[in-house]
Amino acid sequence: MVLKAVIFDMDGVLVDSEGFWAKAEQEVFSSYGVQITDDLAAQTKYMTTTEVTEFWYRKFPWENLDVSSVEQEVVSKVIELIQTENCTISGIQEFIKDLKGKEYKIGLATNAPLRVADAVLEKLQVRECFDTIHSSEFEEQGKPHPAVYLTSAQQLGILPEHCIAIEDSHSGLKAAKAAGMKTIVFTNNDESIDFEHADFKILNFTSAQWPVF
């Protein structure tokens, strides 16, 4: 395989922000009368922000505010947490800059809204390293559908088979695989994780060996 591009997931790979979504959703949705339970919340785990908001609206319809406005409240709360909390994945900035120095094309493909991606890259101060930043909000379907990865590869001008995706979830790995890409699962030092969809596994960005690079 001739590797020409590396495409990163965001939540759980660039920043440890997945808990922020649960916190923001709990705070915002409950303020509109939504009764969040663990069982119902589990059904939304791999949805886009739009899908999550629509899910809760169907379960507990609120009044006087449209779905999009409530969604943006959630997004704004997540951005606030990203900006104020210590959530950067250790070693990620150096790793991205090293890849850029080796002349790989670099992309970001996320189910999160573009506003959140912008906040993350600003926090990490690595925006200039990215050749494309793409969100599933601009696709008809989010991960595990491959659309966000296929569009990212197209924007990079690289065939999917020459791209490798770095993910931390089954949903993201399925999306990248369906797009025809090689995959790396990032475990953040959890040695028990073993995702069958991943071609490679790494524990962290500070001491990992990268045979594919």
* From 11, 16, 39, 118, the catalytic residue: 11
Nearest to 148 by CA among 120, 188, 178, 122: 178
| Residue 164 near residue 141 (C-beta atoms within 8 A) | no
Say which amino acid occupies 82.
I
Quote the strand ranges of the chain, DSSP E.
5-8, 105-110, 132-135, 163-167, 182-186, 200-202
- Cα distance between residue 97 and residue 154, in whole Å: 22
Helix axes of 18-31 and 49-59: crossing angle, nearest 10 degrees: 30
- Cα distance between residue 212 and residue 182, in whole Å: 10
Active site residue 9: yes
Active site residue 131: no
Annotated catalytic residues are 9, 11
